Amino acid sequence: MLVVMNRDCSANQIDRVCEAIRDLGFEPHPMPGAERTVVCITGNKGVVPIERFAGLEGILEIIRVSKPYKLVSKETRSCDTVVAFGDRHIGGGETCLIAGPCSVETEDATMRIAEQLRNLGVGFFRAGAFKPRTSPYDFQGLGHAGLEILAKVKNELGLRIVTEVLDAAELSAVAQVADILQVGARNMHNTPLLKQLGGVEQPVLLKRGMAATLDEFFMAAEYIMVHGNYNVIFCERGIRTVSTHSRFTLDVAAVAAIKQLSHLPVLVDPSHAAGISNMVEPLGYAGMAAGADGLIVEVHDNPSAAWCDGLQALHPSKLQEFIRNMNALRELLASTRCSS
């Protein structure tokens, strides 16, 4: 259920609507838009008695949301959500690039790669301090020592940090360093963690599960939003199919569908979808053409010596060419949309 407010409604009128919703035992979620504020109602098991809002000033109309995901849906918020970091944005027409190695390695190696990326104009540095791995014998990350290295990257180089949180027990420590908290594909269904992420200030980068439908993906984001954090960023990273020529199958159609159904920004991870570096660029271009708000790409200056996933990592020199082509493609897509 949505309570659509008048354009000229006051803050007090919105507060009174929220109070009326709480009196009914439900939860209000004010969603400011470009033209008007919409208050989304969650927590109701059945029909909301709309007569309880009679006489409240500032209300334009009350409408029902047909989707099971309320806060994620464009029915709730028609204008796109933009996640802002000073002069950098995710969504809103900009193309965001997040880059870095799969994992935090030595301090020297991490700082060296991060400096090269900064010199290329990359503003977001990705690397995992905690690594969920299929095999218990594989490298699991440096843990808290890795967070200390990421903090140094942030403080000395000015890069914004994107790193994964595996469970609620480590959330506080990761949140002290990360500018964006990443939820990996294996954790998309970890509802206790999703609920905890609803209470943090940092945006959440939510990766799609390996076999998750879009509705399941949306409902995972809904868990975060209904608990108070509206800054969620979707990430399509490929799903498991019958295909064997790539690590996963990049669901380009899902990117286009997300842009049509949700106001939240969506990134594409071509590195995990490809599994091999020479396929990363074409998959990245495909994601952008489908409407993605940016890419998250694995980069290493010595891929053969990377501690994990070196096969899918681009060399910084290759990334420089990739960025030029991305910018050209972005301009072409923008001109095409304007002419149409």
Stated pTM of the model: 0.91
Q: Report the alpha-carbon distance of residue 190 to residue 317 in Å, rounded.
A: 37
Does residue 265 sit in the same domain as residue 225? yes
Does residue 32 sit in the same domain as residue 127? no
Does residue 273 sit in the same domain as residue 138? yes
pLDDT grade, residue 94 (50/70/90)? Answer: confident
Does residue 202 sit in the same domain as residue 295? yes
Section 269-281 average pLDDT: 96
Query: Tens digits of per-residue pLDDT, 96-143?
Result: 999 999 999 999 999 999 999 999 999 999 999 999 888 888 889 999
Task: Quickly tell me which residue has 């980068």 as its tokens.
Answer: 205
- Structure confidence at residue 339 (pLDDT): 62
Whole domain around residue 192: which residue ranges? 83-339
Does residue 55 sit in the same domain as residue 94? no
In this structure, is residue 302 part of a structural domain? yes
Q: Looking at residue 176, which CATH number applies to its domain?
A: 3.20.20.70
3-state secondary structure 118-153: HHCCCCEEECECCCCCCCCCCCCCCCHHHHHHHHHH
In this structure, is residue 224 part of a structural domain? yes
Does residue 291 sit in the same domain as residue 205? yes
Q: Report the alpha-carbon distance of residue 285 to residue 137 in Å, rounded.
A: 35
Does residue 99 sit in the same domain as residue 47? no
Does residue 128 sit in the same domain as residue 94? yes
Can you say whether residue 79 is alpha, beta or left, with left for phi > 0 and alpha for psi between -120 and 50 degrees?
A: beta
pLDDT surpassing 70 at residue 316: yes
Does residue 219 sit in the same domain as residue 334? yes
In this structure, is residue 71 part of a structural domain? no
CB 99 within 8 A of CB 124: yes
Q: How far is CA 99 from the centre of its chain?
A: 14
Q: Looking at residue 10, which CATH number applies to its domain?
A: 3.30.70.1140
Task: Quickly tell me which residue has 């286009």 as its tokens.
Answer: 256
- The residues with which 181 forms a beta bridge, in sequence order, are 163, 204
CB 171 within 8 A of CB 196: yes
Helix (H, G, I), strand (E, B) or coil at 39: strand
In this structure, is residue 72 part of a structural domain? no
pLDDT grade, residue 66 (50/70/90)? Answer: confident
- Structure confidence at residue 324 (pLDDT): 93
Q: Report the alpha-carbon distance of residue 284 to residue 173 in Å, rounded.
A: 32
The angle, 0 to 180 degrees and rounded to 10, between the axes of the packed helices 214-226 and 252-261 is 50
In this structure, is residue 297 part of a structural domain? yes
Does residue 213 sit in the same domain as residue 307? yes
In this structure, is residue 186 part of a structural domain? yes
- Structure confidence at residue 34 (pLDDT): 75
Q: Report the alpha-carbon distance of residue 128 to residue 182 in Å, rounded.
A: 9
In this structure, is residue 76 part of a structural domain? no
pLDDT surpassing 70 at residue 282: yes
The CA distances from residue 130 to 9, 46, 163, 169, 268, in Å, are 46, 42, 8, 12, 21
In this structure, is residue 219 part of a structural domain? yes
Helix (H, G, I), strand (E, B) or coil at 78: coil
Does residue 49 sit in the same domain as residue 93? no
Does residue 146 sit in the same domain as residue 238? yes
- Structure confidence at residue 340 (pLDDT): 56
pLDDT surpassing 80 at residue 337: no
- Number of folded domains in the chain? 2
Query: Tens digits of per-residue pLDDT, 158-180?
Result: 999 999 999 999 999 999 999 99
- Structure confidence at residue 338 (pLDDT): 65
